[in-house]
Chains A and B, each alone.
Chain A
Amino acid sequence: MCVGIPGRIITVDDPEHRLATVDVGGVRRKINIACIVDEAHPPEACIGDWVLIHVGFAMSRIDEEEAQKTLELLRELGEMDAELEAMHAFDRAR
Chain B
Amino acid sequence: MKFIDEFRDPAKAKALVRHINTLVTKIPRPGGRPLQLMEVCGGHTHSIFKYGIAQLLPEAIELVHGPGCPVCVLPMGRVDDCVALAEHPNVIFTTFGDAMRVPGSRKSLLQAKAEGADVRMVYSPMDALALARAHPDREVVFFALGFETTMPSTALTVLQAEAEGIENFSVFCNHITIIPVIKAILDSPDLSLDGFLGPGHVSMVIGSSPYEFIARHYHRPLVIAGFEPIDILQSVWMVVKQLAEGRCEVENQYQRLVPHAGNRVALEAIHRVFELRPWFEWRGLGSIDHSGVRLRESFAHLDAERRFSVPNLKIADPKSCQCGEVLKGVIKPWQCKVFGTACTPETPLGSLMVSSEGACAAVYQYGRIDLAEVVRQREAVAAGRQPVGAGSS
Contact = CB atoms under 8 A, between A and B. Distances in A.
A75 to B, nearest CB: 8
Which of A2, A59, A66, A74 neighbours the largest number of chain B CB atoms within 10 Å of its CB?
A: A2
Interface of B: 1-4, 6, 11-12, 14-16, 18-19, 41-43, 68-70, 96, 123-127, 146-147, 149-150, 152-153, 156, 160, 199, 201-202, 204-205, 227, 230, 234, 253, 255-259, 263-266, 269, 357
A1 B43 contact: yes
A27 B8 CA distance: 21
B230 A74 contact: yes
Nearest to B164: A17
Closest 7 CB pairs of A and B: A56-B124, A2-B149, A67-B256, A6-B3, A78-B15, A66-B255, A81-B15
Nearest to A82: B15
A59 B152 contact: yes
How many A residues touch the partner, as a band? 35 or more
Interface in A69-85: 69-71, 74-75, 77-78, 80-82, 84
Nearest to A34: B156
Contacts of B70: 1
A1 B265 contact: no
Contact of B11 (A6, A78, A80): A78
Contacts of B269: 34-35
Contacts of A80: 15, 19
Contact of B19 (A59, A69, A70, A77): A77
26 contacts: A1-B199, A1-B201, A4-B43, A6-B2, A6-B3, A34-B269, A35-B265, A52-B201, A52-B257, A54-B149, A55-B146, A55-B150, A56-B123, A56-B125, A57-B153, A59-B201, A59-B204, A60-B204, A60-B257, A60-B263, A63-B256, A66-B255, A67-B255, A74-B15, A77-B19, A82-B15
A8 B259 CA distance: 19
A32 B128 CA distance: 14
A6 B68 CA distance: 21
Contacts of B1: 6, 24-25
A1 B147 contact: yes
Contacts, number: 134
Interface in A23-54: 24-25, 29, 31-32, 34-38, 50, 52, 54
Nearest to A6: B3
Given A32-B126, A74-B234, A78-B12, A56 B256 contact: no
Given A1-B42, A2-B149, A32 B156 contact: yes
Contacts of B41: 1-2
A64 interface: yes
Given A25-B1, A55-B125, A60-B259, 19 more contacts: A2-B41, A6-B1, A6-B2, A6-B3, A36-B265, A55-B123, A56-B125, A56-B126, A59-B204, A60-B263, A62-B256, A62-B257, A66-B256, A74-B12, A75-B12, A77-B16, A77-B19, A81-B15, A84-B18
B256 A74 contact: no
Contacts of B357: 1
A64 to B, nearest CB: 7
B149 A1 contact: yes
Contact of A34 (B42, B43, B149, B265): B265
In this complex, which of A5, A32, A62, A82 has the most chain B Cβ atoms within 10 angstroms of its Cβ? A32
